[in-house]
């Protein structure tokens, strides 16, 4: 089948590549002509594991091509996917301008009988709106609009696309149901479940799924804080509740608050839709507030528990919003590093993949090429992203290179006993504290305080 992909970002590039892998002829267009130029030369504008090899393979086989021309991409396509951005507006609502612009572009070149499938995450009613826009642009055109939300995660995007938990197709007519079912046949034949529903149902499934997953994270983060106050360990607690099949084990890892290009904006859009339509989503509204406060509160803990002084050096390990991506959108580091700086601390930062992106957002940071370089002479290390290389860090080398030896592990990556065995003072999330001397490390590390003036921690949330 001939497919056009509008938008060559994380979702557009991955899905275009995967559609080509499963046998379709795909043409991909992006409004950013520099991005298309890069892609034409085989360069990937994003980091996503396995994507580069897969993309090169399908380009070489002639199944995938890139084009600066919307007309060239769209005119021969049976199905046109829109995978453009849907950022949040100031009030938390969704900015549909990219979707609307893409709909106008597509309507000019679409062949009669073709289907436009919205892959971007959009609020209920967007398919109807896109249909109206396109009908205004080309009144005599016979076409269909469908919702086909995407559930892939950055960092495992290819596996998620090719082995999905489900494929959701929202359509209001037979043509789009049958064409989209055909597009996904190679996956459904291999056992991927298909949910065929109406367009508003599909639109809402996507938001409700993200909101629910974010709630699970918010829940376990608060449970972790309770564990810390009660002497319990969030690891076994999460395992114990996750074994209940009604709950499930995933998304129960405590962290510094969820980030990324999706959960923060999608929970806000979900809440905004609830307010607009008179069905307030109070749980999600509270979650959004608690998630933001968590990032600030963890910065406060570094200052309060680390016994830090003005001018103390903090090594921030991990700038991406999670491991295996170079994406820093709404990452914990972007909130935590400026709070530490505001308190008079020097921030040194490292990330295996996200330094280039982080440089656009963080100011006055000292950039380090390795985790050890970041930790050299540092008073505290704060782990914010669960990169494998931090999990496998050489603790002996870390302990030798640091000045004061305080480690804040906000991903519970390290083994508390191994850290303590190397003489490091260790703080993690919701796990009993272990100090090098076997004493409790609750509260401040006053013994480590030097002669510099202690900085005030921001108010507790
Ligand atoms: P992105 O910002 O990485 O990519 C969007 C691309 O669309 C950009 O390259 C931009 O130049 C291009 N674009 C914008 N307007 C255009 C137009 N009119 N014509 C052609 N190209 C245009 O965004 P993304 O992360 O790929 O997300 C896209 C959508 O998919 C969003 O709605 C997002 O919520 C959703 N989504 C994202 C993920 C994810 O993991 N990133 C997963 C599932 C769903
Ligand atoms: C998320 C969803 O998982 C995808 O299904 C969805 O398609 C996507 O949003 C989207 O709609 O765009 P993604 O943002 O790539 O995917 O990353 P996740 O793995 O979901 O992580 C999101 C955030 O939650 C990260 O900051 C991560 O560190 C955090 N997280 C995740 C936790 O703190 N604990 C967990 O147990 C899981």
Query: What's the rounded Cα separation, in Å, for the pair 163 and 166?
Result: 8
* Residue 53 lies inside a defined structural domain of this protein: yes
At 29, list the tokens: 């267009």
Q: Are residues 426 and 299 in the same domain?
A: yes
Question: Ligand 1 pocket, 147 CB below 6 A?
Answer: no
User: Which are the catalytic amino acids?
Assistant: 262
Specify the pTM. 0.94
Q: Which atom of ligand 1 is nearest to the CA of 99?
A: 18
Instruction: Tell me if 416 CB under 6 Å of ligand 2.
Output: no
Q: How does DSSP classify residue 190?
A: T
In short, whether 207's Cβ falls inside 6 Å of ligand 2 is no
Same domain, 170 and 310: no
Residues sharing a CB contact under 8 Å with residue 395, sequence separation 6 or more, in sequence order: 414, 418, 419, 421, 422, 424
Confidence of residue 455 (pLDDT cuts 50, 70, 90): low
Residue 284 lies in a domain: no
Last residue of a domain, one of 144, 173, 197: 197
**Half-sphere exposure of residue 396: CA atoms within 13 angstroms, side-chain side:** 0
Q: Would residue 422 count as lying in a domain?
A: yes
For range 99-106, the mean pLDDT: 98
Q: Where in the sequence is the domain holding 400, given as residue range(s)?
A: 291-449
Same domain, 151 and 296: no
Q: Which atom of ligand 2 is nearest to the CA of 157?
A: 15
In a domain, 225, yes or no: no
**Is the domain of 188 the same as that of 305?**
no
Distance (angstroms) between ligand 2 centre and the Cα of 347 equals 26
Among candidates 113, 121, 106, which has minimal Cα distance to 31?
Answer: 106
Q: Is 410 in the pocket of ligand 2 (CB under 6 A)?
A: no
> Quick one: pLDDT band at residue 275, thresholds 50, 70, 90?
very high
Q: Which ligand is nearest to the CA of 5?
A: 1
Beta bridge partners of 409: 383
Q: What is the pLDDT of residue 457?
A: 52
In this predicted structure, the answer to whether residue 453 has a pLDDT above a threshold of 60 is no
Q: Give the model's pLDDT for residue 19.
A: 98
Domain C-terminal end among 174, 197, 220: 197
List of residues 6+ apart from 74 with CB closer than 8 A = 4, 6, 29, 80, 105, 106, 108, 109, 110
Across residues 312-324, what is the average pLDDT? 97
pLDDT tens digit string along 388-447? 999 999 999 999 999 999 999 999 999 999 999 999 999 999 998 776 654 544 444 433
Query: What distance lies between CA 330 and its chain's CA centroid?
Result: 8
Same domain, 182 and 318: no
Q: Are residues 308 and 434 in the same domain?
A: yes
Residues 20, 161 share a domain? yes
SS3 call for 49: coil
Q: What is the dihedral of CA 88, 94, 99, 104, to 10 degrees?
A: -120
How close is the Cα of 84 to the center of ligand 1, in Å? 4
Is residue 353 in a domain?
yes
d(CA 428, CA 225): 10
The atom of ligand 2 lying closest to the CA of 325 is 15
Q: Is the CB of 32 under 6 A from ligand 1?
A: yes
Which of 261, 328, 329 has most ligand 1 atoms within 8 Å of its beta carbon, as the pocket-test mutant?
261
- Is 261 domain-assigned? no
Say if residue 21 is in the same domain as residue 140.
yes
CA angle 161/125/141 to nearest 5° reads 85
pLDDT in tens, 128-142: 999 999 999 999 999
99 C-alpha vs ligand 1 centroid, how far in Å?
A: 9
Is the CB of residue 86 below 6 angstroms from any atom belonging to ligand 1? yes
Residue 222 lies in a domain: no
Verify whether ligand 1 is closer than 6 Å to residue 168 (CB atom).
no
Distance from the CA of 328 to the center of ligand 2, in angstroms?
13
- 8 CA: nearest ligand 1 atom: 9
pLDDT number for residue 36: 97
Q: Are residues 189 and 310 in the same domain?
A: no
- Residue 380 inside a domain? The answer is yes
Q: How many domains does the chain have?
A: 2
Confidence at residue 433, expressed as pLDDT on a 0 to 100 scale: 76
Q: What is the model's pLDDT at position 459?
A: 46
Cα(300)–Cα(306) distance, integer angstroms:
10
State the CATH number of the domain containing residue 8: 3.40.50.720
Which of 197, 226, 250 terminates a domain? The answer is: 197
So what's the pLDDT on residue 434?
Answer: 76
Q: Whose CA is nearest to atom 13 of ligand 2?
A: 153
């Amino acid at each position: 089948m001939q497919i056009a992909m509008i938008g060559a970002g994380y979702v557009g590039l991955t899905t275009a590549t995967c559609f080509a892998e499963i046998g379709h002829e795909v043409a991909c267009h992006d409004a950013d002509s520099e991005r298309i130029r890069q892609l034409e030369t085989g360069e990937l504008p994003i980091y996503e594991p396995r994507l580069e090899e897969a993309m090169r393979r399908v380009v070489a086989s002639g199944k995938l091509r890139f084009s600066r021309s919307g007309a060239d991409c769209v005119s021969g396509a049976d199905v046109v996917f829109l995978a453009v951005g849907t950022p949040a507006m100031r009030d938390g609502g969704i900015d549909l301008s990219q979707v609307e612009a893409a709909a106008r572009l597509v309507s000019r070149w679409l062949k009669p009988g073709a289907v436009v499938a919205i892959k971007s995450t959009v609020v209920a009613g967007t398919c109807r709106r896109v249909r109206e826009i396109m009908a205004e642009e080309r009144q005599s055109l016979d076409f269909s609009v469908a919702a086909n939300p995407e559930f892939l995660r950055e960092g495992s995007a290819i596996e998620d696309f090719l082995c999905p938990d489900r494929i959701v197709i929202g359509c209001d007519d037979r043509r789009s149901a049958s064409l989209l079912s055909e597009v996904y046949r190679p996956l459904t034949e291999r056992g991927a479940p298909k949910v065929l529903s109406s367009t508003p149902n599909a639109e809402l499934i996507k938001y409700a799924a993200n909101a629910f997953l974010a709630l699970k994270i918010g829940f376990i983060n608060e449970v972790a804080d309770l564990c810390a106050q009660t002497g319990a360990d969030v690891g076994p607690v999460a395992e114990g509740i996750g074994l209940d099949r009604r709950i499930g084990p995933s998304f129960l890892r405590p962290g510094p608050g969820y980030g990324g290009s999706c959960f923060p904006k999608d929970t806000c859009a979900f809440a905004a839709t609830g307010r607009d339509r008179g069905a307030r989503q109070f749980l999600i509204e509270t979650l959004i507030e608690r998630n933001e406060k968590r990032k600030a509160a963890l910065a406060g803990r570094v200052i309060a528990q680390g016994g830090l002084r003005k001018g103390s050096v903090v090594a921030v390990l991990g700038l991406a919003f999670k491991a295996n991506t170079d994406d820093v959108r709404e990452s914990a580091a972007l909130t935590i590093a400026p709070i530490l700086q505001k308190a008079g601390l020097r921030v040194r930062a490292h990330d295996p993949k996200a330094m280039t992106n982080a440089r656009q957002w963080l100011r006055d940071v000292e950039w380090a090429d390795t985790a050890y370089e970041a930790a050299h002479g540092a008073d505290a290390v704060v782990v914010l992203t669960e990169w494998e290389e931090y999990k496998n860090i050489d603790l002996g080398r870390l302990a030798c290179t640091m000045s004061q030896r305080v480690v804040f592990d906000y991903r519970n990556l390290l083994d508390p006993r191994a850290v303590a065995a190397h003489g490091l003072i260790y703080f993690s999330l919701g796990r009993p504290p272990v100090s090098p001397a076997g004493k409790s490390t609750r509260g401040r590390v006053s013994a480590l305080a030097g002669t510099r003036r202690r900085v005030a921690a921001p108010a507790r949330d």
